[in-house]
């Protein structure tokens, strides 16, 4: 889309609002003030920077992403994103229930960010993650498996004995990560598409398609943006006002989305509530990760301790064996001493 004008910050992000006025609004509502007071200094700075127009919104925070990309309210926007991710035109979809099977990790459900069925009956799940370690490959497999089992159960219920496994349609899982972990960050690529191959070289239709997109790597490696997918990834990475202004002047089709984002600034109460909710999700994920890390440390220490115990037991056995040998040698020495005494008594000293 060609842009015939240059947009300013006021056109895109709205006018700057002094922080003092924002703080007055926050303090005017006791509940908003209470929630805001729970943020640490860095978090307060981020929300104030956004509300004042000094910084863009962190779109990948759970609450904001789900509102901006609600598949019911923002169908054209979601179709555009899905088209870019799939590399083919998506014009319509059916919204699927986001809640899946129960995962017995504190009794939590599989809850997906965007889950739709396309016109060809394939399923698409889009997951946004600020931190890569919150969505390891094992979690991706669980999500994809959940979608396969949903289809299986529904088809078995509908067709009964006429069910055929070929009725199961492909599942496309896209995981967009802001800060990748060690598995991705040093690869030099920002698109990581799962590929399945067989040793014989045969090619079989793949039911599960998983793609990871890492935004940190994208920002470092892509300078000239032109493709639809690059535009969307750039949108997710633009946070500073200067970046946003340059981006919208290059791609004005994203202006309505920034106008929607700027609406959050008009009501600090709503923005703070959503920010608090998003941080709670992020903190929970971080907590789970830290628990997993600590458990791994405990398991490693336990394994090391078990090895030491085995060595100690082995050492004790060796000590026992040496003691027994020493006792035998001592007995033999005593016997030899007695024999020597008898010999000397009989024949005299040598």
pLDDT band of residue 329 (cuts 50, 70, 90) is confident
Burial of 257 (0-12, 13-18, 19+ CB in 10 A): middle
For residue 3, the model assigns a pLDDT of: 61
pLDDT band of residue 74 (cuts 50, 70, 90) is very high
For residue 130, the model assigns a pLDDT of: 76
Out of 97-106, 181-190, 302-311, pick the least confident.
97-106
For residue 81, the model assigns a pLDDT of: 96
- What are the phi and psi torsion angles at 203 (to 5°)? -115, 120
Residue scoring higher pLDDT (335 or 166): 166
User: In this structure, are residues 13 and 241 in contact, taking their beta carbons and an 8 Å threshold?
Assistant: yes
Enter the pTM of the model.
Answer: 0.74
Out of 116-130, 255-269, 329-343, pick the least confident.
329-343
In this predicted structure, the answer to whether residue 235 has a pLDDT above a threshold of 90 is: yes
For residue 39, the model assigns a pLDDT of: 86
For residue 322, the model assigns a pLDDT of: 76
Out of 44-48, 297-301, 335-339, pick the least confident.
297-301
Gap between the Cα atoms of 247 and 216, Å rounded: 17
CA dist 259 → 4, 25, 37, 56 (Å): 18, 21, 28, 12
77-132 pLDDT, tens digit per residue, is 999 999 999 999 999 999 988 775 544 444 444 567 889 999 999 999 998 887 76
Joined tokens for residue 187: 């690869």
In this predicted structure, the answer to whether residue 284 has a pLDDT above a threshold of 50 is: no
User: In this structure, are residues 36 and 26 in contact, taking their beta carbons and an 8 Å threshold?
Assistant: yes
For residue 107, the model assigns a pLDDT of: 40
In this predicted structure, the answer to whether residue 299 has a pLDDT above a threshold of 90 is: no
Q: Rounded mean pLDDT of 239-244? A: 88
For residue 301, the model assigns a pLDDT of: 63
* DSSP 8-state class, residue 97: P
CA dist 266 → 21, 200, 273 (Å): 12, 61, 13
């Amino acid at each position: 889309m060609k842009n015939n004008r240059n947009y300013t910050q006021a056109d895109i992000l709205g006018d700057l609002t002094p922080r003092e006025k924002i703080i007055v609004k926050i303090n005017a509502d006791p509940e908003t003030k209470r929630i805001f007071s729970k943020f640490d200094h860095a978090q307060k700075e981020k929300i104030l920077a956004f509300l004042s127009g000094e910084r863009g919104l962190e779109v990948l925070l759970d609450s904001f992403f789900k509102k901006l990309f609600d598949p019911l309210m923002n169908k054209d926007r979601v179709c555009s994103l899905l088209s870019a991710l799939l590399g083919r035109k998506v014009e319509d979809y059916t919204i699927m229930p986001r809640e899946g099977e129960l995962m017995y990790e504190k009794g939590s459900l599989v809850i997906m960010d965007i889950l739709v069925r396309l016109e060809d009956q394939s399923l698409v799940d889009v997951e946004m993650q600020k931190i890569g370690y919150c969505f390891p490959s094992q979690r991706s497999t669980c999500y994809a498996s959940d979608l396969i089992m949903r289809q299986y159960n529904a088809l078995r219920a509908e067709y009964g004995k006429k069910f055929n496994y070929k009725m199961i349609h492909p599942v496309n899982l896209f995981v967009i990560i802001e800060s990748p972990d060690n598995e991705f960050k040093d690869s030099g690529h920002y698109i990581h598409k799962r590929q399945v191959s067989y040793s014989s070289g045969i090619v079989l239709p793949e039911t599960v398609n998983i793609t990871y997109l890492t935004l940190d790597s994208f920002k470092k490696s892509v300078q000239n943006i032109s493709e639809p997918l690059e535009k969307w990834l750039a949108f997710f990475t633009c946070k500073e006002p200067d970046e946003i202004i340059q981006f919208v002047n290059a791609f004005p089709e994203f202006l309505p989305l920034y106008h929607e984002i700027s609406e959050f600034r008009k009501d600090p109460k709503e923005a703070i509530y959503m920010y608090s909710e998003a941080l709670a999700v992020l903190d929970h994920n971080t907590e789970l990760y830290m628990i997993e890390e600590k458990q791994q440390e405990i398991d490693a220490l336990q394994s090391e301790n078990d090895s030491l115990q085995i060595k100690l037991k082995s050492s004790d056995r060796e000590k026992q064996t040496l003691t027994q040998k020493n006792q035998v040698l001592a007995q033999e020495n005593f016997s030899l001493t007695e024999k020597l005494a008898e010999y000397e008594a009989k024949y005299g000293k040598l």
